[in-house]
Amino acid sequence: MSTVQTITEAVPSLTLRNKSDQADSTNQEEPYKYAHLLPVFPKDEHYPPLTPFEHVDPGSRALSHPNPRSFLENATSVDDITPRLGTEVRGINLAALDNAGRDQLALEVARRGLVVFRDQQDFIDRGPDFYREWGRYFGRLHIHPTSGHPEGLPELHLVYRDANTTYNFEQDERTTSTTWHSDVSYELQPPGLTTFFLLSQPKTGGDTIFTSQVSTLSRLSPQFVAFLKTLKAVHSGFEQAEYSRSGRRGGVVRRDPVQNVHPVVRKHPVTGDEALYVNRQFTRRIVGLKKEESDAILNFLYDHIDKSVDNQARIKWQPNTVVIWDNRVTAHSAIIDFEKTNERRHGGRITPQAERPIPALAGLEL
Active-site residues, by number, are: 181, 183, 332, 349
Q: DSSP states of 184-233 as a string?
A: TTTSSS-B-EEEEEEEE--SS---EEEEEHHHHHHTS-HHHHHHHTT-EE
Q: Give Cβ neighbours of residue 345 (< 8 Å, ≥ 6 apart).
A: 159, 160, 161, 162, 198, 200, 201, 202, 206, 338
Tell me which residue of 333, 274, 329 sits closest to 306, measured CA to CA.
333
Task: Tell me how long the chain is.
Answer: 366
d(CA 300, CA 302) in angstroms, rounded, equals: 6
Q: Which amino acid is at 292?
A: E
Angstrom distances, CA of residue 151 to CA of 41, 194, 329:
9, 21, 32
